[in-house]
Amino acid sequence: MFYKNAFLIVKLIVLLNTLRHSEAYGVTKHCYNPNGRLGRCMSLYECETILKIFVHQQSDAYEFARKSECANGQGTKPYVCCTADTGFTDRTEYRGHRVIFPNSEEDDIRYDANDQKLKQTDLFPKYPNCGHVAISNKIYGGEEAELTEFAWLANLEYKTPSGNLVVSLRVGDHYTQSYTDCNQFHCIDPFQRLGIEKYKVHENFQSISSDGIRNYNDIALIRTSRDIPFKDSIQPVCLPDVELLSPLKAGMSLTIAGWGHNGTVKYTNEKRKVDVPYVENHNCRLKVSDSQLCAGGVYMKDSCTGDSGGALMRISPNGWIIEGIVSYGRGCGLEQPAVYTRVRKYIQWIHDNVTP
């Protein structure tokens, strides 16, 4: 059996065609603030929200600021866990439930009281039910991920090396060559193997478009034969439309994760991650469309063979959001960006093609 990457959006798997990229461009230090919200550990003087507490002498928020202190940040000390929060808030704890691609009538799906039509937006997870960050938080030049980190990644299983006959997928995987995944502190539940009910390749996919764009509309959906059992090691990622985000900017750090070539072997046994910078399309050095994006270009930090279909992710104050899907590149770990399918451009297509 052979494996390929894919990323999991609940019961939805977004696949891809070719690929290559690499590893850590400098893995960002993430943290949780006193409200349990995901943030970045940084200098107090760079965190506008907490700095305002002191500048405006908001004495009622001093305790929140004090408890926001974190370790291993960058820049001038002290370090704080920076988010949009400026004080303590009530926080609803995450409760897992089944949401996408339901297969039976008892699934947790809501209907309109007036016309009984399923609300399409209810099929997709929203924060805090997606994009979870592992508490601790080579691809080519990367580092090993935590056991439950990037729990939306899945391995496709297929019968031929060319990958033209996908037969099943594995979710909840970390070490692909072992049944049980453990580190020095604990073990996680064994992976789950799921059958495939059907799949949908983008109807306008072209390996080479008429104007020379490679892997045009390089995206597909897979529907599994049964519901995916959510747990710590199996979680959905957030789609870009889950919340309003600022546009991607040149140099912004994005993260790739997967089981691809790490510079030594074609497919690594363990899930790995690497941070790469976002590159604006006009600086990509490859011909791309506005439905594609580029990232990388740092020597020895890239996606690579075996990473095809993997996720290019962005960290937000609420968790991980999928921005791209590994499509293709030239070589591995070279000083040239790789190309990804820009997920934001396909949100409507995803909504139109996912049904209960």
Distance between start and end Cα atoms, the chain:
30
What pLDDT shows up at residue 23? 30
Per-residue model confidence as pLDDT tens digits over 281-321: 999 988 999 999 999 866 444 445 445 788 999 988 778 89
Q: Count CB-CB contacts under 10 A for residue 306.
A: 26
353 Cβ contact list (under 8 Å, min separation 6): 200, 221
DSSP 75: S
Domain 240-346: which CATH number of 3.90.1150.10, 1.10.357.10, 2.40.10.10, 3.30.1020.10: 2.40.10.10
Higher pLDDT pick, 204 / 275: 204
Sign, CA torsion 58/61/67/68: negative
Residue ranges covered by each domain of the chain: 35-82, 240-346
Q: 178 vs 293, which has greater pLDDT?
A: 293
pLDDT digits (tens, 9 = 90+) for 97-122: 323 333 333 333 333 333 333 345 55
What is the SS3 assignment for 90? coil
Tell whether pTM > 0.85: no
**What are the structure tokens assigned to 245, written together?**
């985000």
- Which residue in the list 218, 275, 302, 307 is annotated as catalytic? 218
Distance CA 16, CA 281 (A): 20
For 260-272, the DSSP string reads ---SSSSS-SB-E
For the chain, give the percent of residues with pLDDT over 90: 19
**Quick check: is 104 catalytic?**
no
State the pLDDT at residue 323.
95
Per annotation, catalytic residue among 68, 233, 303, 308: 308
**pLDDT at 215 > cutoff 70:** yes
And the tokens for 302?
């890239």
Mean pLDDT computed over 159-177: 76
Q: Examine the residue annotation and report whether 308 is marked as an active-site residue of this protein.
A: yes
